[in-house]
Amino acid sequence: MKKISTIELTYGAIFICLMTIGANIAVWFPFLAIPIGGVSVPLSLQTFFAICAGLFLGKKLALLSLSAYTLIGIAGVPVFANMRAGLFTLFDYTGGFLLSFIFVAFVTGWLAEKQAAFKITNSFFIAVIGVAINYLIGVNYMYIAMNTWLGLTISYPTAWLSMTPFLIKDGIMAVFAAILLVHMMRRLPNTMFLNNSQKI
Amino acid sequence: MDMSNSLLIGQYVPSNSFIHRLDPRTKIMIIFFFVVFVFFANSAPSYAWLTVFAIGTALATKIKLTFILKGLTPVWFLIIFTFLLHLIVTKEGEVLVEFVSFSIYSDAIQQGIAISFRFFLLILVTSLLTLTTTPIEITDAIESLLQPLKKIKFPVHELALMMSISLRFIPTLMQETEKISKAQASRGVDFRTGPLKDRIQAVVPLLVPLFVSAFKRAEELAMAMEARGYQGGEGRTKLRELKIAKIDVLSFIVFALVIIILFFLRA
């Protein structure tokens, strides 16, 4: 790995803060708590911010930044969704989703580096891949966690079925994420994309 | 903002117990091995033994036990749910209670109790780390424990520095987010009504200034660091040095004994 410059370092650190805000976005923007059957479910923009990390930072730095985010959470700072923290969050059945963000950021960063230019189609493609990785790792981890250390027997199709409402939500979110990304890219200065600046 | 303060200390509860004073690396390593060895418990005496160790450690932190248990509230649900699920699903052993179409077996109660206990132990012990150690100490410990990764050119120092910087800036950016939200509301933007599509589109005028201000901070910080001569981890000295003391070695020995006894108590 080539030496990390100071600016890359601080960008990586700032993305940890952005991930924290993304995970708990409904705290500041309460309109993002969506009422589903009488209960208001706060939307989390974690997947979206992880994808952004890939786009803005490039694969290596995104990987490093998201790993640091996960470690900060383990260290007890409430940076995860619903202000959770601690080592157990990773062992919990939703821990896989948390771990998957590292890969989401890495893969979207890698894909973004390969694109010649960003258009709505590329952006949509990247967002969908991001959500797919999120769920592939998340649900499989949930299945393994439940059937081994958590000692809850659950069949593989049930694991997927229980996550389907969220998958639909995040699928729709991916479409919006794609639109959001394109809008944001047009408005943000070029220099802010550390590794993809020439493509906007 | 009190939320910022609570963020910086995480779940840390100050006290002067010897557990608080242990080297954070000792605590992380002992907890890591505890998490592994909990799965080796398979009999009532072995679970009881681990519980004695966990509760004993919790008492040694000098933090009120009721406070620690209260902190576990979100997961009590999970523990009870696991127990009930086992009651229903497991169908081995003698029938203890019989309802109309549904009976509870003796093995179900045993397994339910064992697994709920495992949960309880895992959650209790992992929460002890963050209750007795500040995030900064844990960050230092992680940097030190990851040193071997330097051999494969993994930027351990940069990772740890990113963590420390974010600790400082998370509260700042949270305040910034609140300001942006209020600023846009004062311009008359109403996000509270309308279909989901409009609400999500309304996020753009909030996220763009958030990203811009965040990146501006990153740039200013990088400039400030370079102006003060930051040039990577090479030859950098530390304000807080970690040191393995006698008490750490003693803790490792005691823990090793606990584990050896655990293996004698296994069925």
pLDDT in the model for residue B224: 93
- Selected for mutation to probe chain B from A3, A8, A10 (highest B CB count within 10 Å) is A10
A74: contact with B, CB 8 A cutoff: yes
Better-scored residue on pLDDT, B249 or A184 = B249
> A7, B218: Cβ pair inside 8 Å?
yes
A1: contact with B, CB 8 A cutoff: yes
Per-residue pLDDT of A51-87, as tens digits, reads: 888 888 888 999 999 999 999 888 878 888 877 777 7
Are the beta carbons of B155 and B134 closer than 8 angstroms?
no
Number of domains in chain A: 1
User: Which band of pLDDT confidence, cut at 50, 70 and 90, is reported for residue B7?
Assistant: low
**Paired tokens of A113:** 């580096």
Check whether A1 has a pLDDT greater than 60.
no
State the nearest Cα–Cα gap between A133 and chain B, in angstroms.
22
Which of A98-112, B73-87, B251-265 bottoms out in mean pLDDT, i.e. has the lowest?
B73-87
Q: Which domain holds residue A158?
A: 6-191
Check whether B41 has a pLDDT greater than 60.
yes
Q: What is the average per-residue pLDDT within A5-29? A: 87
B72: contact with A, CB 8 A cutoff: no
Check whether B12 has a pLDDT greater than 90.
no
- What residues in A contact B183, CB-CB < 8 Å? none
User: Which band of pLDDT confidence, cut at 50, 70 and 90, is reported for residue B1?
Assistant: very low
- Quote the CA–CA distance of A131 and A126 in Å, as a whole number: 9
Check whether A195 has a pLDDT greater than 70.
no
> B130, A75: Cβ pair inside 8 Å?
yes
Task: Tell me the DSSP string of A103-145.
Answer: HHHHHHHHHHHH-SS--HHHHHHHHHHHHHHHHHHHHHHHHHH
- Quote the CA–CA distance of A3 and B155 in Å, as a whole number: 8
Q: Is the dihedral of CA A178, A184, A54, A23 positive or negative?
A: negative
Better-scored residue on pLDDT, A81 or B131 = B131
Are the beta carbons of A96 and A146 closer than 8 angstroms?
no
Check whether B3 has a pLDDT greater than 80.
no
Check whether B254 has a pLDDT greater than 90.
yes
**Paired tokens of A139:** 């649900």
Q: What is the ipTM of this complex?
A: 0.84
Check whether B109 has a pLDDT greater than 50.
yes
Q: What is the average per-residue pLDDT within B223-231? A: 89
Q: Which residue has the tokens 């991001």?
A: A130
pLDDT in the model for residue A148: 77
Strands (E) located in A31-125: 33-36, 39-42
A200: contact with B, CB 8 A cutoff: no
3-state secondary structure (DSSP) of residue B96: strand
Highest-pLDDT range among A79-83, A164-168, B156-160: B156-160
- What residues in A contact B79, CB-CB < 8 Å? none
User: Which band of pLDDT confidence, cut at 50, 70 and 90, is reported for residue A190?
Assistant: low
State the nearest Cα–Cα gap between B246 and chain A, in angstroms.
24
pLDDT in the model for residue B10: 65
Check whether B14 has a pLDDT greater than 50.
yes
Per-residue pLDDT of B67-86, as tens digits, reads: 888 777 767 777 787 788 77
Are the beta carbons of B233 and B159 closer than 8 angstroms?
no
- Quote the CA–CA distance of B6 and B127 in Å, as a whole number: 16
Highest-pLDDT range among A59-68, B6-15, B182-191: A59-68
Q: What is the average per-residue pLDDT within A12-40? A: 78
Q: Which residue has the tokens 């102006």?
A: B227
- DSSP letter assigned to residue A198: G
- Selected for mutation to probe chain A from B166, B177, B179, B217 (highest A CB count within 10 Å) is B166
Is A199 contained in some domain? no
* CATH at residue A100: 1.10.1760.20
Nearest chain B alpha carbon to A24: B174
Q: What is the average per-residue pLDDT within A132-142? A: 88
Nearest chain B alpha carbon to A19: B170
Q: Which residue has the tokens 């991916």?
A: A174
Chain B segment 89-148 residues within 8 A of A by beta carbon are: 89, 111, 115, 118-119, 122-123, 126-127, 129-130, 133, 135, 138-139, 142
Better-scored residue on pLDDT, B177 or A174 = B177
User: Which band of pLDDT confidence, cut at 50, 70 and 90, is reported for residue B181?
Assistant: confident
Is A196 contained in some domain? no
- Quote the CA–CA distance of A48 and A62 in Å, as a whole number: 13
